Amino acid sequence: MQFRKLLFIGFCLLVCFKSKAQPHFGDMAPEIALPAASGDTIKLSSLKGKVVLIDFWASWCGPCRISNKKLLKLYPEFHKKGFEIYGVSLDKDKADWQKAVGKDKITWLQVNDNGGWDAPTAVTWRVDQIPTSYLVDQTGRLVAMDLDDKGLKKALKDLLGD
């Protein structure tokens, strides 16, 4: 009987932990304030009024680099309508990050939290895989996560109009 009770408590704790695994839709996006390559700090809150894709990635992540290429096609189309990408690199080596930004021809905002998986931003946002992305509306609320190309394009059309 004691074993079942412990098993039940363990299950409840696991469910509670998983339910808090990542920020929830409809919540206000937690603040991020990190340095760009120039050394200037860019705050996520400074982008309020725009639709923002928060994109967690790293130079060493193959799927992230593929995602960059896809975003490169989408960004110019919606940027002029009020869309911004806030790229958060988890690279520990700043030079690797900057080299990848140049090689991938990234023109959107880029910041670096160089602690890898233990970076404070990754911990706050509970990022456990990359690429991970969150879509934030003009008010700063989380509206979607990890959309594919078509899903992101549809969401941007819905939020920004055609």
What number of other Cβ atoms are within 10 A of residue 24's Cβ? 10
pTM for the structure as a whole: 0.85
pLDDT digits (tens, 9 = 90+) for 12-69: 444 444 444 567 778 999 999 999 999 999 999 999 999 999 999 999 999 999 999 9
Alpha-carbon distance values, 100 to 18, 24, 93, 94, 157 (Å): 33, 30, 11, 10, 29
Q: What is the pLDDT of residues 108-151, one digit of tens each?
A: 999 999 999 999 999 999 999 999 999 999 999 999 999 999 99
Mean pLDDT of the chain: 89
Residue 105 has pLDDT above 50, yes or no: yes
C-alpha distance from residue 134 to each of 39, 102, 129 (Å): 24, 23, 13
Model confidence over 86-101: pLDDT tens digits? 999 999 999 999 999 9
SS3 content of the chain, % helix, strand, coil (to 5): 45, 20, 35
CATH of 27-160, one of 3.40.50.1000, 3.30.565.10, 3.40.30.10, 3.40.920.10: 3.40.30.10
Percent of the chain topping pLDDT 70:
86
* Predicted pLDDT at 4: 57
CA quadruple 53, 54, 56, 58: dihedral, nearest 10? 70
**Taking a C-beta distance cutoff of 8 angstroms, is the pair 149, 74 a contact?**
yes
Residue 151 has what pLDDT?
96
Domain ranges of the chain: 27-160
